[in-house]
Amino acid sequence: MRIVITGGAGFLGSNLCDRLLNMGHHVTCLDNLITGSVDNISHLMGNERFRFLKHDVTEYMFIGEPVDAVLHFASPASPRDYLELPIQTLKVGALGTHKTLGLAKAKRSRFLLASTSETYGDPLVNPQPETYWGNVNPIGLRGVYDEAKRFAEALVMAYHRTHGVDTRIVRIFNTYGPRMRPHDGRVVSNFIVQALEDQPLTVYGTGKQTRSFCYVDDEVDGIVRLLVAGDSEDIHHPVNIGNPHELMVEEIARKIIELTSSRSRILYEALPEDDPRVRRPDISRAERLLGWSPRVSLEEGLGKTIEYFRLRLAHSS
Tell me the average pLDDT across 100-125.
Answer: 97
Say which CATH architecture domain 2-173+216-241 belongs to. Answer: 3-Layer(aba) Sandwich (3.40)
Output the CA–CA distances (angstroms, integers) from residue 255 to 180, 259, 293, 302, 307, in the order listed: 19, 6, 23, 9, 15
Percent of the chain whose predicted confidence (pLDDT) is above 70: 100
Mean pLDDT of the chain: 96
Euclidean distance between the first and final Cα of the chain, in Å?
41
pTM metric for this prediction: 0.96
Given a cut of 90, whether residue 281 has pLDDT beyond it is yes
From the candidates 82, 120, 145, 176, give the one annotated as an active-site residue: 145
Tell me the average pLDDT across 305-317.
Answer: 90
Do 10 and 76 touch, CB atoms closer than 8 A? no
pLDDT in tens, 159-211: 999 999 999 999 999 999 999 999 888 999 999 999 999 999 999 999 999 99
**Per-residue model confidence (pLDDT) at position 22:** 98
Reply yes or no on whether 204 is catalytic: no
| Range(s) within the chain of domains with CATH label 3.40.50.720 | 2-173+216-241
**Per-residue model confidence (pLDDT) at position 26:** 98
Q: Is the dihedral of CA 297, 299, 302, 304 positive or negative?
A: negative
Say which CATH architecture domain 187-211+244-280+295-316 belongs to. Answer: Alpha-Beta Complex (3.90)
pLDDT in tens, 265-275: 999 999 888 88
| Range(s) within the chain of domains with CATH label 3.90.25.10 | 187-211+244-280+295-316
- Alpha-helical (H) ranges within the chain are 11-22, 79-84, 86-91, 97-107, 143-163, 187-196, 216-228, 249-260, 284-290, 298-316
pLDDT in tens, 128-170: 999 999 999 999 999 999 999 999 999 999 999 999 999 999 9
